[in-house]
Amino acid sequence: MIHVNLSVPMKAIEIGQKYLEREARRFGVALSRITDAQMDAVASEYGASKIEDLHAALGYGKYSARQVLQKLAPDKVTLENPQVAPIAEPSTGSAPAQRRPGSDQDLIIKVKGIDDLLVYRAKCCNPIRGEAIVGYVTRGKGVAVHSLSCTNVQNLMYEVERKIDVEWARAASETFQVKLLIHTEDRPGILNQLTQALFGEQINIRSLEARGDDERATDGAIIDVTVEVRDKKQLERVVSAVRRISGVRDIERINQ
């Protein structure tokens, strides 16, 4: 679970407002012609006491701008419009998991202060419990949580106002899938030693595949293995155990 400090939602209000304005331009909806009464009525439909709260909800990904615009201009906007493709967040190597309020996955991540908020671990770095993390408010997609060491973080932080403090919660019942790429000697028995080392650390193996490592060495092999770990410390123990196997030349964590 991840808790986010959302005591000052001004950044979400601004992001949500810009998100709504940009979608309105794409659909040809003139927001300047929408009255305050109309905006307040739509905000009320979404449980917001004022338009700023609706903008914040849009910024945090609780609703889509298209949903709001459909309420404001149903003659121009439908919820399923094949003529207009959705605007994607600038490519950062991350994408939200397909989680929605009410799904079992929502129990893994909890947001402090706002209910039903979409928060997800970025795929570009796949942070696991124990790693330093940082939150990044995306446009209309919620809060993406990155490892602080993620190579994409510096690119994302060009808009500092989108940064938000996040922290791991205390519960530790969930596990995280981690993919490891292991370079070894190509010899009989090495796979058996690897699986025994993983079982010794009480690790569940989700997938395992071996192939020749022609690029690094003619007598080498590559083992792709995906394991489930509870946190960073357990992953470090796994890596240490694998490195102790005779014939293992290198091991690296793959996030993409």
Tens digits of pLDDT across the chain (256 residues): 555 444 445 667 877 888 888 889 988 999 988 998 999 999 898 888 888 888 888 877 778 888 899 999 888 887 654 344 343 343 444 444 334 433 333 345 555 555 555 778 888 999 998 898 888 877 667 788 899 888 888 777 666 767 777 777 766 578 899 999 999 998 889 999 999 999 999 999 999 999 887 776 668 899 999 999 999 999 999 999 999 999 999 999 998 6
Residue 51 maps to a domain: yes
**206 contacts 103 by C-beta, under 8 angstroms:** no
**94, part of any domain:** no
Domain co-membership, 195 together with 249:
yes
C-alpha distances in angstroms, 80 versus 30, 57, 59, 61, 205?
20, 21, 21, 18, 41
Flag whether 144 is in a domain. yes
> How many other CB atoms sit within 10 Å of the CB of residue 11?
19
Q: How far, in Å, are 26, 33, 220 from residue 120 at the CA level?
A: 27, 36, 37
Number of domains in the chain: 3
Instruction: Name the residue range of residue 158's domain.
Output: 104-168
Q: Do 193 and 154 fall into the same domain?
A: no
Q: Give the chain's length.
A: 256
CATH number, domain of 239, equals: 3.30.70.260
Based on the fold, state whether residues 182 and 211 are members of the same structural domain: yes
Q: Which residues have a Cβ under 8 Å from the Cβ of 253 and sit 6 or more positions away?
A: 178, 179, 180, 181, 235
Cβ of 82: how many Cβ atoms within 10 Å?
6
